[in-house]
Amino acid sequence: MTLLTTWPESGPETVIRRTADPAEIAAALAPVGVRYEQWPVREDVPADADSDAVFAAYRTEIDRLNAEEGFQTVDVVALHPSDDPEWPEKAKAARQKFLAEHTHDDDDEVRFFVAGSGIFYLHVAGEVHAVYCEKGDLLGVPRGTTHWFDMGTSPAFTAIRFFHEEDGWIGTFTGSPIADRFPDFDAIHAGYTA
């Protein structure tokens, strides 16, 4: 189940909104240009499925979104715990890349969660929206929107990424420490699943 929590940008002491209702989430995010929708979950697609299996399972939805948005590149990214002794360091490095507030000047950030979960934090119009996404959730963050992403200390997700530009993910970091003031993935996940 997805969860949206909204706070003032000053900090998380006051909760403006907290909802797990998909229609309320879509309605709350639409005014800031963020696309939120749910796609059917394909239970027969394992969490660690390869790209070919993911594309085959979601071909109809991918084709529809490509027709609507004109994406040039679609790929699959996955991070799942492994027995590799270097996994903890690899996971930490992957997480650190996205934890600082940034924007994308030339492209939207559009992700569909095939498996697992992650949180997009959107810093827009004086508020911070934490969108806890799980399998079946699609989130489209418009270019120029300040945001960050947290996958937690033990990332476990598979997502389809959509790009208008062939260069893929290019972030422009704001230098703001705002992300440090808000609950991270692990804190929200613990409270959400408790």
Does 147 appear as a known binding residue? yes
Q: Show Cβ contacts of residue 147 under 8 Å, excluding neighbours closer than 6 positions.
A: 101, 102, 103, 109, 120, 121, 122, 123, 141
> Does 102 count as an annotated binding residue?
yes
> Residues 136, 142, 143, CA angle at the centre, nearest 5°?
135
Q: Is 123 annotated as a binding residue?
A: no
| Burial class for 177, CB neighbours closer than 10 Å (0-12, 13-18, 19+) | exposed
How far, in whole angstroms, is CA 114 from its chain's centroid? 11
Question: Which residue positions form the known binding site for Ni(2+)?
Answer: 102, 104, 109, 147
Question: Which residue positions form the known binding site?
Answer: 102, 104, 109, 147
Question: Which residue positions form the known binding site for Fe(2+)?
Answer: 102, 104, 109, 147
